[in-house]
Amino acid sequence: MPESAGARAHDVVLRHIEDSLRSGELKLGDRLPGERALAERFGISRASVRDAIRALEVMGVVRAATGSGPNSGTIVVSDPSSALGVALRMHVASHHLPVEDVVGARTMMETWALEHAAAAPWTSDQLDDARRLLDAMDDDALPSQIFTLLDSQFHVALATLAGNVVVSTMMESMREAIRGYIDDAVAHRGGWEDVVHVLRDQHKGILAAVEARDGALASRLVREHIEWFYNQSV
């Protein structure tokens, strides 16, 4: 398959992986053939194959490791949140995606997730990650940047309880974009010591509602929590 202006190398290799996964010829965890084999198979240069692998790594489709051994080579991993996360971070940073719209999308997903989590078949053990994150955020000596990292992970952990893989993936991909606008707000607003106490109380109320399987309350509290902080930052 010769290279052409209309068929970029990574498109060719990606189509091959997609077709192979669909047919069962390739499974998650399998290794791709080496550079030379792919170049010969598709009629493209080895440099183009390397560019294709780099693009697929950024997209979260493969993981490439040099050297030898069981973890070497290019392995199909399929991490869709990686590609979505990179795109969101870049668009928010360039102001192409307004923060208000990111907050609106986040609110829509989280309220839906916590409402549906009430009837989902999760166990108390599955809340352990959220509890640990909540405990870690209680440290008064915690820098705001670490708090916001734990905060974003806390929200992802709760959204995952709904059991919807697509929503979980989208929440994971939004994690850094969410953290980014929160960090910016903290840096420009000041008064972090006052804000953090409110956030802790709000987090505890949300978790208590989730534990009680009160979906309506959990959904309302997380909406109020997100909107309260956003209103503090504008």
pLDDT per residue over 180-208, tens digit each? 778 887 877 777 888 899 999 999 999 99
Q: Which helix (H) or strand (E) covers residue 211, if one does?
A: helix 192-211
Q: Where are the beta strands (DSSP E) in the chain?
A: 62-65, 73-76
> Which residues of the chain are in CATH 1.10.10.10 domains?
9-76
| pLDDT tier at 212, thresholds 50, 70, 90 | very high
| Per-residue pLDDT reduced to its tens digit, 103-156 | 898 999 999 999 999 999 999 898 999 999 999 999 998 888 899 889 989 999
29 SS3 class: coil
C-alpha distances (whole Å) from 58 to each of 45, 81, 156, 206, 223 are 20, 11, 21, 34, 32
3-state class (DSSP) for residue 99? helix
Q: Which two tokens stand for residue 65?
A: 């490791």
Strand ranges, E, within 8-79: 62-65, 73-76
Query: Is residue 165 predicted with pLDDT exceeding 90?
Result: no
CB-neighbour burial class of residue 38 (10 A; exposed 0-12, middle 13-18, buried 19+): buried
Strand pairing category for 62-65 and 73-76: antiparallel
Give the amino acid at 230: Y
Domain at 9-76: CATH code: 1.10.10.10
Instruction: Name the maximum alpha-carbon separation found in the chain.
Output: 62
In which band, very low, low, confident or very high, does the pLDDT at 84 lie, cut at 50, 70 and 90?
A: low
Q: Which segment of 33-42, 67-76, 164-173, 185-194 scores lowest on mean pLDDT?
A: 67-76
Residue predicted with more confidence, 165 or 132? 132
- Indicate the average pLDDT of the chain: 83
pLDDT at 1: 45
Lowest mean pLDDT among 54-63, 81-90, 202-211: 81-90
d(CA 96, CA 79): 24
**Which segment of 62-71, 84-93, 98-107, 119-128 scores lowest on mean pLDDT?**
84-93
Instruction: Report whether pLDDT(215) > 60.
Output: yes
Domain boundaries 81-233, CATH class: mainly alpha
Average pLDDT on 56-72 reads: 68
pLDDT of residue 98: 81
Instruction: Give the pLDDT confidence score for residue 203 in this predicted structure.
Output: 97
**H and E: helices and strands count for the chain:** 10, 2
The answer for residues whose C-beta is within 8 angstroms of residue 2's C-beta and 6 or more apart is 43, 44
Please tell me the predicted confidence (pLDDT) of residue 221: 98
Residue 7's SS3 state is strand
DSSP class of 97? S
**What pLDDT does residue 119 have?**
96
Nearest Cα neighbor of 38 from 14, 60, 19, 59 is 14
